[in-house]
Amino acid sequence: MNLGKIFLGIVILLLALLLQLWIPVAGIRGDFILATLIAFAFIYSFWELVFFVILSFFAINWQPMPSFELVVFSLMPFAAHALRVWLTWERWIGIAISVIAGIFVFYAIVTPAAAVRNWESLLVDALICTAFAEIVAWGAE
Amino acid sequence: MTKRNNYFLAILILIAAGLAFLAPSYGWRLRNVLSPLATGQSEATNLSAENEALKAQLAEFETIASQLGISTTSLRGSNPSSLIPAMVYSRYPMNFKNEMLVDAGAGQGVTPGKGVLFNGLLVGTIYEVFSDGAVAQTVFDPGFRLPVRIGTSSVDALLQGGTEPAVVSISKDAKVQEGDIIYAAAPGIPYAIPIGEVGEVSMAENSLFQQATVNFAYDINSIRAVEIEK
């Protein structure tokens, strides 16, 4: 474990939270934190990822008990972490595929009807979050 | 990774887990501090909302006065009903504009179908109530429908929700113009609660009715506190 890298990860997560709160993407809140965690899945070890996922859970949870949405949200980075062994040829491609798939799969599970109705917003969201995740991955390296 | 580093990471994970599961309110506070509207809505938004509320009140008074044949000056004061204040949760990831979760529920007297107000403007209606929370369907939900009236001549219309809400089924002979106030005229919701202003007016495809876009005095994503009709 590299302390500096952990600290950098915390700063990046804070930045992602600020973007999520301040910058609406196509009329919805962007998924900057989810994109960041998926990018982290390609950079950090499993237990470091556990720390960042729990920290994100703390930062965005809105109710006393874990909701179904946040449980699914928390599982997405681990899915990306498990799949990264198949996405090793070019890391930036692996991150792009994981972020886009992650956002669509996530909304398809937690709110399928709204996801279909708002697919254009989700597409813009996924593209912007992919760009952000690539910057995060480049910066965290 | 050394053993010492492993211990340190384990401690970090335990601290994060403790915060997330034992003290989630700190996360809520953190978001509140970082949130763009921690300082409240802008003055311009408040003034626009006040302006729309006054327009709706004027429209209501003029309608009553014309129907009863009395002067508007003899009608004074509004008829404010009891309102339940409630905070709006940042319900990430359910962040589509069509619903909002509030922290007042059955325990506070919230019931389904009641209007949800922001600065006196109707932003939606309650459709699901829990013991300490409720979900409101906003005017941005594609399934939202509400009978409304427009302007001082009280033209009947139907508010149709969606990403870009519209007022439809306006009689083609009715005089409706940009800036006219749109207000609620539905059973279960106090009469003449303002919703927005008429934007661009056009003829419907079937040419039997007029329709219009709606201009709102607020950004639904920025709303942090609302009031719910009792």
CB < 8 Å to A51, chain B: 9, 12-13, 16
ipTM over 0.90: no
The three-state DSSP-derived secondary structure of chain A is CCHHHHHHHHHHHHHHHHHHHHCEECCEECCHHHHHHHHHHCCCCHHHHHHHHHHHHHHHCCCCCCCHHHHHHHHHHHHHHHHHHHCCCCHHHHHHHHHHHHHHHHHHHHCHHHHHHCHHHHHHHHHHHHHHHHHHHHHHC
- Cα–Cα distance, A63 to B133 (Å, whole number): 10
Q: How far apart are CA A126 and CA B196, in angstroms?
A: 32
Judged by CB atoms closer than 8 Å, whether chains meet at A64 and B24 is answered as yes
Contact A54 B16 (CB under 8 A): yes
* CATH of span B44-230: 2.40.10.340
pLDDT at residue number A22: 80
For B37, name the nearest residue in chain A, comparing CA atoms only. Answer: A22
Q: pLDDT tens digit string along B2-56?
A: 778 888 889 999 999 998 888 877 887 787 777 765 444 556 666 666 776 777 6
**Cβ of residue B7 closer than 8 Å to a chain A Cβ:** no
Parse chain B into domains and list their residue ranges: 3-34, 44-230
Q: Name chain A contacts of B95, Cβ cutoff 8 Å.
A: 28-29
Q: Which residues does chain B have with pLDDT short of 50?
A: 38-40, 71-78
**pTM summary value:** 0.64
Which of A18, A28, A57 minimises the CB distance to B95? A28
